A and B are shown apart, each in its own frame.
Chain A
Amino acid sequence: MMAELTGRHGGYSKGKGGSMHMFSKEKNFFGGHGIVGAQVSLEPVSPSPTAIAAMILSAWPISATARRTRARSTKLQYAELWKLPVIYVIENNRYAMGTSVTRSSAQTDFSKRGISFNIPGEQVDGMDVRAVKAAGDKAVQWCREGKGPFILECRPTANRGHSMSDPAKYRTREEVDKVRHDQDRSSRSAIGCWRPR
């Protein structure tokens, strides 16, 4: 991973991808993707049927490109039909790059994204480590019991723009300051702390 970040040959994408192209075949980690969220289409290649593929998706894919690609809905369809053990973790901080999800999505409860495919989902406070772990463990159990995929929507709070190139002009200074002030916990979301076991 370090080698990829520093552009060396030994990196996951031979040093040519960088931070958006991280993955690990041996660890069943599908990682990032240049088109955020496009990796949704990749999960059925998971080498072992007992392995649980967890995908961390940001608010981006849901409001942007990937949601509209046919590949995504097809894979959700087959993930359920074949009862694949996949946990789709949607990290929804309520803002995409450029705007609020309420301005770009008619349905803002993303845990319901699987309804038309019969995939259950749950919302959880993305800033609460214990809540994320409890919900995550439940999702893992669901998969292990062979019941198929599960959608976990974690809702952390956004305390800055999407990236260095996002000045977050679509939010008021007061709102961002309030979020930063109220956060006495970590400024990072709790999702990174949970690993399926």
Chain B
Amino acid sequence: MSEQELKAIDAEVREIVNAAADFAQHDPEPDASELYTDIYR
């Protein structure tokens, strides 16, 4: 595998991670109404 190919993989991975991080940062936190969802009461 050439250095060029490795760099391409690096760039692709970075792009995926950045996109995921971006999504996570702009996604809302769970609604307060979810507080007791699936919790035994």
Contact = CB atoms under 8 A, between A and B. Distances in A.
Given A14-B34, A16-B34, A2 B28 contact: no
B10 interface: no
Interface string A8-27: 11110011100000000000
B20 A1 contact: yes
A49 B20 CA distance: 30
A15 B23 CA distance: 13
A16 B32 CA distance: 11
Contacts, number: 41
Interface residues of A, number: 13
Given A2-B21, A2-B23, A3-B23, A8 B28 contact: yes
Interface of A is mostly: loop
B34 A7 contact: no
Residue among A3, A11, A14 facing the most chain B CB atoms (10 A cut-off): A3
Interface string A61-74: 00000000000000
A5 interface: yes
Contacts of A104: none
Interface of B: 17, 20-21, 23-25, 27-31, 34, 37
Given A3-B20, A3-B23, A11-B27, 9 more contacts: A1-B20, A2-B23, A2-B24, A6-B25, A7-B30, A8-B28, A8-B30, A14-B30, A15-B27
